[in-house]
Structure 1
Amino acid sequence: MYPLPIEKWTPASRTLYRISLPIALFIWLLPMLAVLVTSLRSADELARGNYWGWPEHLSLIANYRDALTTSPVLHYFWNSVLITVPSVLASIALASMAGFALAIYRFRGNALLFAIFVAGNFVPVQILMIPVRNLSLQLGLYNTVWALVLFHTAFQTGFCTLFLRNFIKQLPFELVESARIEGASEWRVFHTIVLPLIRPALAALAVLVFTFVWNDYFWALCLTQGDEAAPITVGVAALKGQWTTAWNLVSAGSILAALPSVAIFWAMQRHFVAGLTFGATKG
């Protein structure tokens, strides 16, 4: 029923696994490695057609300095921070309360409401492009940071609620009953008992939602125009020239845009793994 542990595989299977895993990992990382190497090349070298060879002259400082100074990359970074941080905090705060209510309280329509949260995760976001854009225009939020914060919060809250509801459902209900008998209010039960127990799940969700929102390009392209509210994912396109494109600068900007997500994952790696495995075993 379950996959066998690697230790119980046949010697031939273990050998094939050890050989194929590094190859698959290299193929998976090849595009990122190509972008990283391109960000180290000089413009003259790219003009001569050296795309895949090792750079003849490393232009690390020059390329990244030009990427930061020839376009408002720092402004795009700040926009991404203003969009991502409130979206993550609001999504997790709303989802933790909604997940608590769906997991703990028994009321008419509980299953239907949970089914709506589940169904919302299966709706393709592309079909919502025109209604969401029109709604942002009607509310006067188009081309503002708050438009992206509002819609990212709305879209991510459904996934987070589904995630947290299942985690809270696995907690011993006796803890909640004991706290109620002692006279604790529902808010105190939620804040003092439930939240500390689901901290690994909250950390895992924070990493996932941060990655989703920071790397978003679709909604940033739909709800912004120009440089005023554009995040870094859209701002990298500003490094392109009108007639020619300095791919070394575009690659450097892409690496800079990817660094925060990578840093957040490595900083929260232990909590992320603990959150994904939380409740996977009993006893």
Structure 2
Amino acid sequence: MFPMPIEKWKPINRALYRASLPVALLIWLLPMLAALVTSIRSNDELMAGNYWGWPQDFAMLENYREALTASPMLHYFWNSCLITIPSVIGAISLAAMAGFALSTYQFRGNTVLFATFVACNFVPQQILMIPVRDLSLSLGLFNTITGMMLFHIAMQTGFCTLFLRNFIKQLPFEMIEAARIEGASEWTVFYRIVLPLIRPALAALAVLVFTFVWNDYFWALVLTQGDDVAPITVGVAALRGQWTTAWNLVSAGSILAALPSVILFFVMQKQFVAGLTFGASKG
């Protein structure tokens, strides 16, 4: 029923598996390595057609400096922070309360409400483009930081609720009952008992939601116009010229845009792994 441990595989299967891992890793990393190498090439090398060879003229400092100064990259970066950080906090806060209610309380419509959260995760976002844009225009939230933030909170809350409801469901319900018998209010049970126990799950979810919102490009194009509230994903696209594209600058901007997500993952790596494996085994 469960996958067989690798140590119990046949020797030939184990050897093929271990030999395929470096190949799969290289294929997966090849686009990122290409972008990293391109970001340190000079424009003359790219114009000469040296796309895959080792750079002959390193222009790392020039490319990254120009990527930061040729467009308002720092302004885009600040917009992304203003959009992403409140979105992560808002989505996780709402989802934690909703997940606690759905996993703890038995009321009419509980299953239907939970099924709604699940179903919303399978709706293609592209079909929501026109309704969401019209709604943002009618509410005066188009091309605003508040509009982008509220939209991402609404979109991510469903996934976060599904994620946290399943984690809270695995907690020993006897602890919650004991706290209620001792006279603790529902808010006390939620803040003092449930939240500390699901802290690894909250950390893992924070990394995921931060990555989703920070890397969003589709809705940044739909709900923004111009450079006033555009996030960094739009800023990287703005590095493309009208007639020619300096791919070394685009690659440098892409590396800069990816750094916050990478840094956040490595900072919270232990909590991220603990959150993903929380409740995976008993004993």
Query: Normalising TM by the smaller chain, what interval?
Result: over 0.9
What is the number of residues matched between the two proteins? 283
What is the aligned partner in structure 2 of residue 254 from structure 1? 254
> Could you tell me which amino acid in structure 2 is paired with residue 130 of structure 1?
I
Alignment match, 2:200: 200
Query: What do residues 14-43 of structure 1 show as CA deviations (whole Å, max 9, x unaligned)?
Result: 111111001001001111111111001000
> Using the alignment, how far apart are the partners of 1:172 and 1:202 within structure 2?
18
Aligned counterpart, 2:129: 129
Equivalent residue, structure 1, for 2:101: 101
Residue 94 of structure 1 deviates from its aligned partner by 0.2
How many percent identity over aligned positions? 77
Cα distance in 2 between the residues matched to 1:271 and 1:14: 30
Which residue of 1 is the match for residue 187 of structure 2?
187
Alpha-carbon distance, 1:221 to partner:
0.7
Alignment of 1:215-254 (within 5 A): 215-254=215-254
Normalised TM-score (structure 2): 0.99
Distance 2:146 2:22 in 1: 43
Separation in structure 2 between the aligned mates of residue 127 and residue 189 of structure 1, nearest angstrom: 40
| Aligned AA (2:273) | V
- After TM superposition, the structure 1 = structure 2 runs for residues 69-218 of structure 1, keeping only pairs within 5 Å, are 69-218=69-218
One-letter amino acid of the counterpart of residue 40, structure 1: I
2:101 counterpart letter in structure 1: A
- Give secondary structure in 1 for the equivalent of 2:238: helix
Deviations 1:203-261, CA, capped at 9 Å, x for gaps: 01000000000000010010001100100001111111222111100110000001111
Amino acid across the alignment from 2:98:
A
**Runs of 4+, deviation exceeding 3 Å:** none
TM-score by length of 1: 0.99
Q: Could you give the per-residue CA deviations for residues 100-131 of structure 1, whole angstroms, max 9, x where no partner exists?
A: 00000111111111011111111111100000
Give SS of 2:167's match: helix
In the alignment, structure 1 segments of 5+ residues that lack a partner are none
Q: Pairwise CA RMSD of aligned residues?
A: 0.6
Deviation at 1:62? 0.6
Supply the distance in 1 between the matched residues of 2:11 and 2:243 (Cα, whole angstroms).
57
Q: Distance in 2 between matches of 1:73 and 1:2?
A: 48
* Offset of residue 58 of structure 1: 1.0
1:151-180 CA-partner distances (Å, limit 9, x unpaired)? 100010000000100110110110000000
Other structure's SS at 1:239 match: coil
| AA in 1 matched with 2:205 | L
